[in-house]
Amino acid sequence: MENGNVYNETTEPQGKPPRRPCGCRCTLQNLRARRWAAKALQALFSLLAVICEEIVENCIKCDGLYFFEFTSCSALLLSLLILCVYCTTAYETFGKDKIEKVNFGAMAFIGGIFLLASIVLAATSSGSGLEKAACAFGFLASGAFLAEVIMCYLDGRKQDTESRSENPASTQTATESQPLNK
């Protein structure tokens, strides 16, 4: 301590971790290939539905078109938001179970409302080609949302049966049957 140094000469400064442009890590490892494909189709079909309904120039009964517009825009934004959650560090921050529950509920709700909006648009449209195309993309998008709901449900059932087979009939192991205080 002659020169007032706190660190010994053998202490090396700690290197900084490499910086990322936005401070987050983007990965697709949290989604399987078929779930990623469903999410991509949801966003694509929702975007195409938004584009088609936005360029409709004339409508006779516009209420159905306005409901479809709101639904398709909301579905597009929510599907992109959930995809971003799966692809960033937010997935680890919130936890897999919470994200899966929110995703299941949101996809079921969006799929159901999108299906309803597509039916309403089909019933109230004037028959123009753009309205028919928007309606078709609406049905495709709602199918993609509902397909992911089915995939989530089946994955959840598969995990439940696997966890039951690991510990059948909730049998206690030797450490679980021991008293806490000896």
Residue 63 covered by a domain: yes
Residue 24 covered by a domain: no
Give the count of domains, the chain: 1
Torsion of the alpha carbons at 121, 38, 31 and 19, rounded to the nearest 10: -70
Residue 12 covered by a domain: no
Burial of 182 (0-12, 13-18, 19+ CB in 10 A): exposed
Residue 3 covered by a domain: no
Task: For residues 46 and 114, give the distance between their C-alpha atoms in angstroms, rounded to a whole number.
Answer: 9
Q: Count how many residues are written for the chain.
A: 182
Residue 61 covered by a domain: yes
* The pLDDT value given to residue 10: 67
DSSP letter for each residue of 5-71: -SS-TT--PPPPPPP-SSS----STTS-HHHHHHHHHHHHHHHHHHHHHHT----SSHHHHHHHHHH
Structural contact between residues 114 and 71, judged by C-beta atoms closer than 8 angstroms = yes
Cα 141 to Cα 72, 105, 119, 127, 161, distances in angstroms:
9, 16, 13, 20, 31
Per-residue pLDDT of the chain in tens (182 residues, 90 and over written 9): 556 666 666 666 666 555 555 545 666 677 778 888 888 999 999 999 999 999 988 888 888 899 999 999 999 999 999 888 888 888 888 888 898 899 999 999 999 999 999 999 999 988 888 899 999 999 999 999 999 999 988 888 887 777 776 655 555 566 666 767 76
Residue 64 covered by a domain: yes
- Domain containing 38: what range? 33-156
Determine which helix (DSSP H) or strand (DSSP E) holds 176, and give its type and residue range.
Answer: none
Task: For residues 77 and 168, give the distance between their C-alpha atoms in angstroms, rounded to a whole number.
Answer: 43
Residue 58 covered by a domain: yes
pTM of the model: 0.71
Residue 51 covered by a domain: yes
